[in-house]
Amino acid sequence: MNTSTTGGGTLGRNRDQSWRSVDRRADGRSRAWELYALCRNEDPELWFSNRTRAVARALCHACEVLEECRAAVMRREEGLPECDRGGIVAGLTGPQRHALEKRRRRAPVLPPEPRSQTGPSRLPGEPAPCGTRAAYQRHVRRGEPVDDACRVANARSVSHYRRTGTTLLRATG
């Protein structure tokens, strides 16, 4: 039940998270969350008027699906210039969304490359730390979700193997 009002009433809703288990896609792009957005029954003009900007932002910040909304709008607007991003979406103005995308593009988060594979740097029987190809293989073998650091490490290892024909990295000194 939606208890939001734009006329100064309460903002909030039941914290039923059942949508998170509905329509799960492997790529994470399910749109089931839209059914639980506070904005779904609001007048669309609310998001594009300077007079109602504060109300629009308050609704966004009270919404339980703000993170999903923000991720969806950032995917949808990827590569668009600032002038083509209008209104309040996910609690942000067009220029704010553009600046956020620029910051994300400028600073890719990648784990550092391993220095060499000259010998074991951990105790026998200790699992490989995340961010290594061995950890990636462990995740796959156990059917666990693979984290980004392990995925990047595996891609780096495969790329190195294709270029050089060996899995060993040259020792740097």
Q: Measure the CA–CA gap between 72 and 78, rounded to whole angstroms.
A: 10
- Name the residue range of residue 151's domain: 110-173
Is the pLDDT at 82 greater than 50? The verdict is: yes
**Whether residues 57 and 92 fall in one domain:** yes
Q: Render 75-135 in DSSP notation, one character per residue.
A: HHTTT--GGG--S-BTTB-HHHHHHHHHHHHHS---PPPP---SS--S-TTPPPPSSSHHH
Q: What is the pLDDT of residues 124-162, one digit of tens each?
A: 778 888 888 889 998 999 998 999 999 998 988 888 888
Please answer whether residues 57 and 91 qualify as being in contact, where contact means their C-beta atoms are separated by less than 8 angstroms. Answer: yes
The residue that leads in pLDDT, 22 or 136, is: 136
**Whether residues 39 and 101 fall in one domain:** yes
Percent with pLDDT over 70 in the chain: 71
Please answer whether residues 56 and 38 qualify as being in contact, where contact means their C-beta atoms are separated by less than 8 angstroms. Answer: no
Q: What is the pLDDT of residues 90-121, one digit of tens each?
A: 999 999 999 999 888 876 555 565 555 545 56
**Whether residues 123 and 65 fall in one domain:** no
**Whether residues 33 and 67 fall in one domain:** yes
Q: Measure the CA–CA gap between 8 and 27, rounded to whole angstroms.
A: 38
pLDDT at res. 58: 94
Percent with pLDDT over 90 in the chain: 39
Helices 94-106 and 66-76 pack at an angle, to 10 degrees, of: 80
- For the chain, what is the mean pLDDT? 78
pLDDT at res. 59: 93
> What's the predicted TM-score (pTM) here?
0.49
Please answer whether residues 157 and 167 qualify as being in contact, where contact means their C-beta atoms are separated by less than 8 angstroms. Answer: yes
**Whether residues 92 and 41 fall in one domain:** yes
Q: Measure the CA–CA gap between 132 and 138, rounded to whole angstroms.
A: 10
HSE value, Cβ hemisphere, 13 Å, CA-based, for 167: 8
**Whether residues 92 and 34 fall in one domain:** yes
Q: Measure the CA–CA gap between 90 and 73, rounded to whole angstroms.
A: 8
**Whether residues 143 and 79 fall in one domain:** no
Q: Measure the CA–CA gap between 49 and 54, rounded to whole angstroms.
A: 10
The residues near 165 (Cβ < 8 Å, ≥ 6 apart) are: none
> Is residue 8, in this structure, part of any structural domain at all?
no
**Whether residues 100 and 34 fall in one domain:** yes
Domain total of the chain: 2
pLDDT at res. 12: 43
**Whether residues 82 and 36 fall in one domain:** yes
The closest of 95, 67, 68 to 82, measured between CA atoms, is: 95
Domain boundary among 90, 106, 122: 106
> Is residue 102, in this structure, part of any structural domain at all?
yes
**Residues forming a β-bridge with 120:** none
